[in-house]
Structure 1
Amino acid sequence: MALGPAQPAVLASPAVARVRAAGPLEPCKIFGSVYLETDPSRRGYCHGTVYVEPEEAFADVLVFKENNKLFADKAGLWADAPARDFADYVLLVVTDRSRADFSIHYTKVRSFAGCKTN
């Protein structure tokens, strides 16, 4: 049995595009470090779109901002990521509620954070 010539190893390029997860974004499962993108031209790098609701009653998720990523371990507990590359989730902030996947409202009480039950 003869061996053919060795195939060169294929190396991944250093600038590998981030692959989006299959399926719809589930806002009730978002926690950890989150980067809120405001530039619409970077929509392709985002996991989804979000609208910051001024009223708590109409928001889908109540968000409490954690100072430390280690404490952002449940739905609605978010820590601000310093850059898009360090975030668990990157969300594009839109100004039109109808163009958002879901809406959030920031709360000052940690125990209120999470998905609102319907």
Structure 2
Amino acid sequence: MQILFMIWMALLPHLSPAAPATATAGRNFCQIYGSVYLERNPMYKNTASHVVYLGEEEAFANMVVYRESNKLFADAAAIWYVTPNKAFADHVLYVTEQRYQADFTVHFTDTRSFATCRE
């Protein structure tokens, strides 16, 4: 019995659960493209994958996003089709009014070639 306890104690540091894969993959906001739903209701904040702040200044934005009018053409980083229905969205983002609460900031541009992600 003592031997089993000693083996268990020796293996305990190696048996700790690893961090989930979504913890590191979920932080990469540059991979967000396609159809995006912008959630503004605080009741559904926990269902969103990221918290974003929509800024007016392009210079301070982490991501400059081009708003595509056709879902099929939203096929690259920082090119979003903003969908009015959450059920059809590839990504759900919660929009906050407080910049310090956001995971990243977004500025919308009118020119597709200006769309970029700054990590």
- The aligned length equals 97
Aligned-residue identity in percent: 46
Name the amino acid aligned to 1:112: F
Name the amino acid aligned to 1:22: T
Residue 81 of structure 1, CA deviation: 1.2
CA distance in 2, matches of 1:114, 1:76: 6
**Residue among 37, 61, 72 paired with 2:74:** 72
Residue 60 of structure 1, CA deviation: 0.1
Question: What SS does structure 1 have at the residue aligned with 2:87?
Answer: helix
Q: Which runs of 5+ in 2 are unaligned?
A: 1-20
CA distance in 2, matches of 1:87, 1:25: 18
Question: What SS does structure 2 have at the residue aligned with 1:56?
Answer: coil
CA distance in 1, matches of 2:111, 2:101: 28
Cα deviations by residue, 1:72-97 (Å, 9 ceiling, x for unpaired): 00011000112111100000000111
Residue 28 of structure 1, CA deviation: 0.8
Cα deviations by residue, 1:32-71 (Å, 9 ceiling, x for unpaired): 0000000011012111100001100000000000011110
| Greater than 2 Å deviation, 4+ residue runs | none
Give 1 or 2: higher helix fraction: 2
Residue 83 (structure 1) aligns with: 85
CA distance in 2, matches of 1:39, 1:76: 23
Name the amino acid aligned to 2:108: Y
TM-score normalised by structure 2 residue count: 0.77
Q: Does 1:39 align with 2:11?
A: no
TM-score normalised by structure 1 residue count: 0.78
Residue 22 (structure 2) aligns with: 22
Name the amino acid aligned to 2:81: A
Residue 110 of structure 1, CA deviation: 0.2
Question: What SS does structure 1 have at the residue aligned with 2:46?
Answer: helix
Structure whose alpha-carbon radius of gyration is higher? 2
